[in-house]
Amino acid sequence: MDTYTTVKNRILYLCEEKGITINKLATESGVAPSTIKNILYGKSQNPGIVTLKMLCDGLGTTLTEFFNTEEFENLEQEIK
């Protein structure tokens, strides 16, 4: 799995776990719904760290908790 897919899946997982919609996440995080949808649907495959931090704030998690998963731990190096 690549980094983009792992980030997308993590956002979707946390939304499901916390029972919030994309629109609710947008409201809670201050990130436009269109930006979130662009990340989730592949139009924006390289979200910035500030955007991810804002999404984490809206999800009630930290960046450390967001990236502290087996999926991120096992990502292959992007540049070879």
Say if CB 35 and CB 2 are below 8 A apart.
no
| pLDDT of amino acid 62 | 97
| pLDDT of amino acid 80 | 67
Nearest to 26 by CA among 16, 37, 17: 37
pLDDT digits (tens, 9 = 90+) for 4-38: 999 999 999 999 999 999 999 999 999 999 999 99
Helix (H, G, I), strand (E, B) or coil at 6: helix
pLDDT digits (tens, 9 = 90+) for 38-80: 999 999 889 999 999 999 999 999 999 999 999 999 988 877 6
- With 0.85 as the threshold, say if the pTM is over it: yes
Domain 3-72 of CATH type 1.10.260.40: yes
| pLDDT of amino acid 45 | 85
Give me the residue spans of the domains in the chain. 3-72
